[in-house]
């Protein structure tokens, strides 16, 4: 009972937050909907024994990434007059229809008991607790090469962001 509640409460918040992200007109509201989704996902991660990932989700996504989004929203202003005409005729209507059918089909699949995803094995009996120790033990042995590659990726991304956002004309006229 508690297990079901711990799934359905965050799950409904995830779906509501996602719908806010795609339907709200004010970009700040969209960002807040995304925060709702991300925090609820962190709760679900905790119930799935992935405590380290849940913490990283809170810090990196709900913290850093969302702050970045809000900074950019404030920088470029709240663009309320988003163009409402479609460049492809009937795009919004058609896509909404197709996806509402798809999403309601998925919801039906979720509640009907005769459907299962083909997962090869039944779930294992033991629990794997995703503690920082256990993650680090795998990360720094089996996954050391991807780990080093993403460290390079982060440096490149930081340098690229500075190079892109640096306004050369403005700087040189000030100096």
- Residues in 115-174 that interact with other proteins by CB under 8 A: 115-117, 119, 121, 123-124, 126-128, 130, 134-135, 138-139, 142-143, 146, 150, 153-154, 156-158, 160-162, 164-165, 167
For other proteins, give the closer residue by CB, 152 or 175: 152
Size of the site for other proteins (CB under 8 A): 82
For other proteins, give the closer residue by CB, 102 or 175: 102
Q: Does 26 bind other proteins (CB under 8 A)?
A: no
Q: Does 74 bind other proteins (CB under 8 A)?
A: no
Q: Which residues, numbered 75-94, are part of the site for other proteins (CB under 8 A)?
A: 75-76, 79, 82-83, 87, 91-92
- Tell me which residue has tokens 């913490």: 55
CA distance 102 to 48: 26
* Shortest Å distance, C-beta 43 to other proteins: 12
* HEC assignment per residue over the chain: CHHHHHHHHHHHHHHHHHHHHHHCCCHHHHHHHHHHHHHHHHHHHHHCCCHHHHHHHHHHHHHHHHHHHHHHHHHHCCCCCCCCCCCCCCHHHHHHHHHHHHHHHHHHHHHCCCCCCCCCCCCCCCCCCCCHHHHHHHHCCCCHHHHHHHHHHHHHHHHHHHHHHCCHHHHHHHC
* Shortest Å distance, C-beta 128 to other proteins: 5
For other proteins, give the closer residue by CB, 37 or 175: 37
For other proteins, give the closer residue by CB, 111 or 175: 111
* Shortest Å distance, C-beta 175 to other proteins: 19
For other proteins, give the closer residue by CB, 117 or 175: 117
Determine which residue in the list 36, 39, 43, 53 makes contact with other proteins, applying CB under 8 A: 53
| Torsion sign across C-alpha atoms 140, 142, 146, 148 | positive
């Amino acid at each position: 009972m508690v297990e079901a509640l711990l799934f359905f409460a965050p799950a409904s918040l995830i779906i509501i937050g996602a719908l806010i992200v795609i339907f709200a007109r004010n970009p700040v509201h969209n960002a807040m909907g995304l925060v709702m989704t991300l925090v609820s996902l962190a709760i679900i991660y905790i119930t799935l024994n992935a405590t380290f990932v849940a913490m990283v989700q809170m810090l990196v996504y709900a913290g850093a990434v969302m702050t970045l989004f809000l900074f950019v929203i404030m920088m470029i202003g709240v663009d309320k007059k988003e163009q409402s005409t479609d460049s492809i005729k009937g795009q919004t209507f058609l896509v909404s229809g197709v996806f509402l059918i798809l999403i309601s089909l998925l919801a039906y699949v979720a509640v009907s008991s005769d459907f299962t995803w083909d997962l090869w094995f039944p779930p294992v009996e033991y629990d794997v607790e995703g503690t920082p120790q256990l993650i680090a033990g795998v990360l720094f042995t089996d996954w050391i090469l991807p780990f080093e590659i993403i460290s390079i990726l982060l440096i490149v991304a930081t340098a690229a962001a500075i190079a892109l956002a640096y306004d050369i004309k403005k700087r040189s006229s000030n100096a």
